[in-house]
A and B are shown apart, each in its own frame.
Chain A
Amino acid sequence: MTRYRLTVNGTEQQVEAWDGDMPLLYALRNALGLHAVKFGCGLGQCGACTVLVDGQPQRSCLLRLADAVDRQIVTAEGLGTPEKPHPVQAAFIAEQAAQCGYCTNGMVMSSVALLAGNPKPTREQTQAALAGNLCRCGSHDRVLKAVSRASGQGKAP
């Protein structure tokens, strides 16, 4: 077993693992109990496992644990709580922008990253930024409205 030092949601954590090639996803979900991070494909194709790594959205199903050492990792739990949600999460709640909600983690994390770099994105820019996030329930339009709301632009047209 090897110990890996991670910084997750602002707190330093030690994770023991026998294989540094293990995707970060399993360390977050099983060692740290951060279940916002969802397993969707393990192929980097759907976005359900998205976390922020040094502020950038990354697929935790592809990122090796050994490569996550000493990086700043943020999950949806680190953004806010049901009682005190992050502004992007609050906008998702206001727009009721989830159905089953399984993909929502990735939507939220990608949106937070988008708004950090582009505080007033157009609908098309948001669509492009979320192109790698899949949703089966068809909540897309509400997600776009939530991003618009979070950016202070009110409801998207």
Chain B
Amino acid sequence: MTTITRRELLLQGSACIVGFSWLGSVPQAHAQTAPQPARGALPLNQLDSFLALQKDGSLVIYSGKVDLGTGHRIAIRQMVGEELSLPVSRIEMIEGDSALTPNQGPTAGSSGVMRGGVELRQAAASMREGLFALAAQRFGTSAAALTLENGRIASSDGRSIDAVELSGGQPLRLPMNAKAPLKSPSRYTQVGQSLPRPDIPAKVTGRHVYVHDFALPGLLHARIVRPPTLGATLQSVDESSVSHLPGVQVVRMKNFLAVASADEWAAVRGARELKAQWNGGEALTSHEGVIDWMRKGPFAADEDLVNKGDATRVDALHDAPDLLKSTYYWPLQSHASMGPSCAVADVRTDGATVWTASQASHRLVGACAAALGLDAAKVRTIYLDGAGCYGMNGHDDASVEAAMLSKALGKPVRVQWSREEELGWDPKGPPQLLELSARLTPGGRVDAWFTEMWLPRATANLAWIPLLSPAAAGLQQPTGQSTGLISQNGDPPYGTGAVRVRVHWIDGSPLRPSNIRAPGKVGNCFAVESFVDELAARAKADPIAFRLQDLANPRGREVIERLARLMQWRARASPSPDLGKASPARGRGMAYVHYKHSETLVAMGTEVEVDRSTGAVRVLRVACVQDCGLMINPNAVRAQVEGNIVQTLSRTLYEETTFDRSRVTSVDWARYPLLRFPEVPSLDVELVQRIDQPPLGAGEAAAAPVPAALANAIFDATGARLRTVPFTRERVKALLA
């Protein structure tokens, strides 16, 4: 039996189906899950893995990548609908279900449209080509004489037929054709339109079903009891301490401890009131000790990532009398999701189903199977929306915890993390330390540049990020760590003559790391684009003119030049000529990124006020010009840019995960503050539409230049340079003192 046929069986009611209808998500869970047919991965070279024409002429998209609140649901429909000339209202979409969708990789790295969408678009083009071949055969005409509109294929001689009549509503059994011709951009009617997202009406009226809202008959609510110290050993548990709470059961597996009850409040109180004795644990470096730790190692390796131009000029920097050298630091940060992580699992002897908000539901299958001791073919993961996670937060942990507990208790289990767990135990964005050196030519250009980075090293080929509870329970796990690609964009995006980027890879990390939005690029661009500003100031040059003199990329020049117009930028060197005169001090700054040196181009500008007496920074305005190639849905792209700006202002101004020798201490919104409404600046976003270019990512790039644009504006206002994030009042005040 082919995998496609198995999927059809699953869809015909043998198991749980969660589809996403046009007006919101309508999960239909059939509790009496029949034994699931064994399955293998849906093949990526078959178009039936991605698309299925229905008997009513509508289309189902099977997307391995998921909508994380980004507009993926509408953009993918537009890309596919465009190729098949089908309106988005006739397209359904199933996302991130490991049994129904092909594994297109995790939804990360701004790849949803750029790779996932492009793949689905090619599937749609393959489908059109296949339908035309069938119709040409039927009509005895050439495929060139055929057109497709709203599910009907017409021949130039006037005959026509419904596409579904050709396929009979059956899988087409055609290979993906990487060369199937794509529609000409000049004929686009859907791509490039700001169609509304299908999920927003249900989200705004409280009907959208998040993983937090999903329930099954007989469900038990569980809470995990975390140790007081990272890595502590559980000595004893006094179950009688929760015997007064209705239906509370205690589950212990070595150092994994949890409570569960059919009554959620009983589980909440159970986790609070359960008496347990813990011993020992790991000694952490506190957050104040991270920079020292990074300088000391242990180091896994040194690596030169970039060596460009005359190496002797970089070597000569070492003892150049006019050397400029600065150190930048980006701290550990939490994903800080608004909804603490949650998952639901139903584990039976013949198989397991896990409802998850993981960004990597396919990869999660392996982690669940390992924790359950089941064959991966017996585990199905189904994506449901969570709270925006912006990298791997606790969703994967919660998913495996729900599976472990469902197996132990023999019932469906919902695990809901607390606020303290989410901020304390989610894997953290890793710290970054950068030391930058450069000197100028007599003409005021960069002669040589050296970036030295200290970064936690990601483990090669890690099957999945080690999870908390399997480790606590003594279950086998991969060893190693993951960080996302954090070493990119460590070199300036300009035609600087001689450049070296060297990274000192550190073994381990102060807390378990994972990818966080625009991994590493936010910290690296903060350092690089702040340092470019330092060099411009030394050259007494206007920061924009200084950048443009060595920027050849015409698309890069365009976003910067448009930003200058948007901001009515007056060419002059920083700091501001009003330095010391105005109160509060006012300044402007900008930064530029060519994401990964190959993707989206962004120019970002800020205008700020700094109160010298309190150290308070007020961001008045942020202006941004972005070119991410072809925009499928410009308003959805705009939302991503706005989100990148506001979220990264928050990360830059306020956010650092703090910890002492035993545990994370920034575990609520008072100790891990986010930017609030009164601090939201006015936003001016200009988007460049490149209708004939490939689509690039929009989910991350605009985050990268925000911190430097802000630091550069603060320098312009005050003449003082912030090189450590977050820019708290205390830090700014101390710098200005």
Contacts and interface: CB of A to CB of B under 8 A. Distances in A.
Max chain A CB contacts within 10 Å: which of B203, B266, B385, B646?
A: B203
B87 interface: no
Interface stretch (B52-60, B170-178, B208-216): B208-216
B206 A41 contact: no
B626 to A, nearest CB: 15
Interface string B625-659: 00000000001100100111111001000000000
A22 interface: yes
Contacts of A137: 69, 388, 643, 647
A81 B212 contact: no
Given A100-B388, A138-B643, 16 more contacts: A18-B263, A30-B264, A36-B205, A40-B339, A40-B387, A82-B205, A89-B205, A100-B68, A101-B385, A102-B388, A103-B387, A135-B338, A136-B647, A137-B388, A141-B680, A141-B682
B69 A98 contact: yes
Contact of A82 (B202, B339, B340, B646): B202
A1 to B, nearest CB: 9
Contacts of B212: 35, 38-39
Contacts of A48: 338-339
Measured as residues with beta carbon below 8 angstroms from the partner, the interface class of chain A is: 35 or more
Interface in A47-83: 48, 75-77, 79-83
A135 B340 CA distance: 13
Interface in B320-371: 336-340
6 contacts: A40-B340, A80-B205, A82-B24, A83-B23, A89-B204, A101-B69
Contacts of A40: 338-340, 387, 419
A140 interface: yes
A96 to B, nearest CB: 6
Measured as residues with beta carbon below 8 angstroms from the partner, the interface class of chain B is: 35 or more
Contacts of A89: 204-205
Contacts of B202: 82
A17 B265 contact: yes
B514 to A, nearest CB: 16
Contacts, number: 185
Given A45-B670, A100-B387, A101-B208, A18 B246 contact: yes
Nearest to A27: B265
A115 interface: no
Q: Is the interface of A mostly helix, strand, loop or mixed?
A: loop
B425 interface: no
A132 B670 CA distance: 12
B206 A34 contact: yes
A139 interface: yes
A108 to B, nearest CB: 6
A13 interface: no
Interface string A83-107: 1011001001100111111111100
A98 B200 contact: yes
Interface in A93-128: 93, 96-105, 108, 124, 126-128
Contacts of A12: none
Interface string B383-427: 001111010000000000000000000000000101100000000
B646 to A, nearest CB: 3
B336 A136 contact: yes
A144 B690 CA distance: 30
Contacts of A157: 682
B264 A101 contact: no
Interface stretch (B30-38, B556-564, B587-595, B671-679): B671-679
A100 B357 CA distance: 11
A83 B205 CA distance: 10
B206 A35 contact: yes
A65 B676 CA distance: 29
A141 B212 CA distance: 26
B204 A46 contact: no
B645 A138 contact: yes
A138 B646 contact: yes
A140 B264 contact: no
A130 interface: yes
A19 B273 CA distance: 15
Given A77-B207, A85-B201, A39 B416 contact: yes
B678 A104 contact: no
A134 B205 contact: no
Contact of B338 (A92, A96, A103): A103
B643 A108 contact: no
A96 B204 CA distance: 10
Max chain B CB contacts within 10 Å: which of A101, A104, A105?
A: A101
Nearest to A78: B206
A144 B646 CA distance: 13
A40 B387 CA distance: 9
Contacts of A5: none
B205 A46 contact: no
Interface of B: 23-24, 68-70, 196-197, 199-210, 212-213, 246, 263-266, 268-269, 336-340, 385-388, 390, 416, 418-419, 635-636, 639, 642-647, 650, 668-670, 674, 676-678, 680, 682-683
Max chain A CB contacts within 10 Å: which of B200, B213, B635?
A: B200
A127 B677 contact: yes
A97 B214 CA distance: 24
Given A100-B388, A134-B338, A35 B24 contact: no
Which 9 A-B residue pairings sit nearest by Cβ, starting from the closest? A36-B206, A138-B646, A100-B69, A101-B203, A138-B643, A100-B388, A102-B387, A82-B201, A76-B206
Given A30-B264, A138-B646, A43 B669 contact: yes
Nearest to A37: B206
B208 A96 contact: no
A132 B264 CA distance: 26
Contacts of B670: 45
Given A35-B206, A96-B639, A100-B387, A140 B677 contact: yes
A24 B229 CA distance: 32
Interface in A20-38: 22-23, 26, 29-30, 34-38
Contacts of A93: 196, 200-201, 204
Nearest to B390: A136
A35 B213 contact: yes
Nearest to A133: B677
Nearest to A84: B205
A18 B650 CA distance: 41
A86 to B, nearest CB: 8
Contact of A100 (B340, B385, B683): B385
A140 B207 contact: no
B24 A96 contact: no
A102 B213 contact: no
Nearest to A42: B419
Contacts of B201: 82-83, 85, 93
Given A38-B339, A46-B338, A131-B678, A81 B207 contact: yes
Contacts of A134: 338, 669, 674, 676
A28 B647 CA distance: 31
Contacts of B24: 82
A98 B643 contact: no
Contact of B678 (A79, A127, A139): A127
A41 B668 contact: yes
Given A18-B246, A82-B207, A89-B205, A141 B200 contact: no
Contacts of B650: 138
A39 B340 contact: yes
A37 B340 CA distance: 14
B206 A136 contact: no
A34 B206 CA distance: 8
Contacts of A46: 338, 419, 669
A26 B261 CA distance: 14
B668 A101 contact: no
Contact of A140 (B246, B339, B646): B646
A76 B213 contact: no
A60 to B, nearest CB: 13
